[in-house]
Amino acid sequence: QVQLVESGGGSVQAGGSLKLSCAASGYTYSSYLMGWFRQAPGKEREGVAGIYIGGGSTYYADSVKGRFTISQDNAKNTLYLQMNSLKPEDTAMYYCAARSGGTIAPMYPADFGYWGQGTQVTVSS
């Protein structure tokens, strides 16, 4: 059974940093495409960053380019999202997601079959 467990969310002031983690289990981690999504109240879930676990190619939404970095630790089966220069508009529930194969972009939530429970990120001005 595939399991994704996020951690690392919290509350920070604008300009601060947070690092999210997603521990994966229950499948062949290296064969998947994984990503981070976020959903703010009243808004649709959007893809923030994605990575091919086997190849390392990455994707970033324009809104986070240059500020967020997605990475992986294959030995720990863990996905990360380093978030720097955080803005109030980054406030959302952040979700880790995984899919087998497919293209790294665009990141449509419906294409991802496995999801974590989410971790809240709140950025105050």
pLDDT tens digits, 15-37? 999 999 999 988 766 668 999 99
**What pLDDT score was predicted for residue 32?**
85
Over residues 38-52, the mean pLDDT reads 96
pLDDT bucket at 2, cuts 50 / 70 / 90 = confident
CA quadruple 26, 98, 119, 59: dihedral, nearest 10? 140
Q: If you average pLDDT over residues 37-55, what whole number do you get?
A: 93
pLDDT tens digits, one per residue of 59-103: 999 999 999 999 999 889 999 999 999 999 999 999 999 998 888
The rounded distance, in Å, linking the Cα atoms of 23 and 63 is: 25
- Sign for the CA dihedral angle at 99, 86, 62, 121 comes to positive
Which long-range contacts does 5-9 make (Cβ < 8 Å, 24+ apart)?
Answer: 5/116, 5/117, 6/94, 6/95, 6/96, 6/116, 6/117, 6/118, 6/119, 7/119, 8/119, 9/94, 9/119, 9/120, 9/121
Q: How many angstroms separate the CA atoms of 100 and 95, rounded?
A: 17
Predicted pLDDT at 28: 67
The type of residue at 16 is G
**What pLDDT band is residue 119 in, cutting at 50, 70 and 90?**
very high
C-alpha–C-alpha distance, residues 44 and 70, integer Å: 21
